[in-house]
Structure 1
Amino acid sequence: MSRARLRLLGAAAALALAAAAPFTPALAQTPMDDPLDARDAKRVDRMERVVRELRDIVFKGQKTGAPVVVQPADTDARMAEQANHISDLEQSLTRLNGSLEVTTHELDQARRATAALQTQVKLLSDRLAADEQKAAEVAAAATPPAPVQSVPPDPKAASADAFAQARQLMLGGDYDAAEAAFGAFVTTYPDTPRAPEARYWWGKTLLVRGDYARAASAFIGAIRDWPKTAWAPDAVVELSRALVSLKKPGDACQTLAELGRRYPKAPPAVVNHAAAIRAQAKCG
């Protein structure tokens, strides 16, 4: 048995003797030689205080004759209070742990939601980039290419092609298109070597359509310098024909008179055609 327990039993025995017999001064207790450790010493001190309190209560009851009521020691009350306080703290800690678990769960959910949002944002960003790329490709395809600096065509070659096309239209019997083509040639290439001949053929198409005034103007432009070409004698006869249709027989006869002087070796067909027009105009 420990020394502390022996001292507690001795104190309880002394208290019992004091309650059963008249009050006598307490005998001094001889302290034990062996030292106690700090923990046992504190327990002993607490028990000694309790014993002193109990002894005071007993002595008070002996003096007053009142019944002895043993109240719980202040130390026990404080210990009970501390126990209650600890219980409250434990309950508070339990509530805090529950709140912490809820908060942790909500935080995990928020993290998952954030990760999902980040994934959606990345998908939308990729889709937007793809749409922008497609729009750029469509815009690039719709943009017309820059004009290529080409060498201007040779006027002589271009005029030859234009004359050939107009002549082909006339040979094909499309006089309306031939008239437009020869008229465009005369306007576009007025100073080219084939411009007089183009005027001759242009007059032919106008004469077929009955546009005698413009036909006469075209023939005059064709034979202005009395060119030495195969078509020139016929152009003179066609001019006189247009003048007869315009009710100008005198001008027609004068034109036919120039035919023999300018083109004495005209083809027989042209000469015969001139004789017929001369008779129509009643030339003297």
Structure 2
Amino acid sequence: MISKVVRIRSFAMALCLTAPFALAESQMASGGLSPNAAADLLFQLETLQQEVQSLRGQLEDQGHELKLMKESQRDRYIDLDKRISLLMSASASEPKYSSAPEPRVEQPATQASVQKINNSTNSLAASPLAPISLQPPTAQAQQAYNDAYNLIRQRNFDEAETAFSEFVKDYPNNSLTGNGYYWLGEVKLVQGKSREAIEAFSTVIQNFPGHNKEQDSLYKLGTVSDQLGDTTKAKSYLQDVIRRFPDSKAAKLAAGYLSKIK
């Protein structure tokens, strides 16, 4: 389309440029071209040349802007495709619970310690938190979780976000709630809601210490913080994953990502 416009403009410009010469030649042949007419034709020629240069500059600017727009759209598509691929890859490895998963329980936290955890949001990656005791999900909670999780498998991310938001609200204290917040964060990432995703991942760390999604949530907090420009916090999260979970897949991913941060 652009090349067609260029050809049309070039043809029109050629006509404009050659017309004064043709008129001048015809008048000179008949002996009727006066000095004033010649000067006027020269002025018109110079004006047309300036307009041609201006149009060429505008065309080059528009072509450059179009190229930048295409590159930006391509980069955004590639980034979105990577996010969806990573999400689906992680989704495929998530176990389907036929029964309630066993929570990681070592030392049940007291009410005072849980409150202390909630008040330490700004130092999530400073030190590992003590695991808390969680109740197994009811059959109803298990079904609600499975239904929400299946929406991710079907790539219905808008519905999955709504389903997981309702799940963590309706079932705030069972062993699947941490998973619910983690997948809520993943879904929000796919939709470009980075700051809301950070809130979801942070909730896993704050409210469910020792949960099996803690290491993955820390890694995600590191990568998203880096994408938002907070390099210091990103390094802290990633280093915490490596220090606390050295043999995990999340630690390997954190080490790889950390090596690319300047």
Q: Does TM-score exceed 0.5, indicating one fold?
A: no
TM-score (norm 2): 0.45
Q: Which has the larger radius of gyration?
A: 1
For CA contacts below 8 A with separation 6 or more, give which structure has more relative contact order: 2
TM-score (norm 1): 0.41
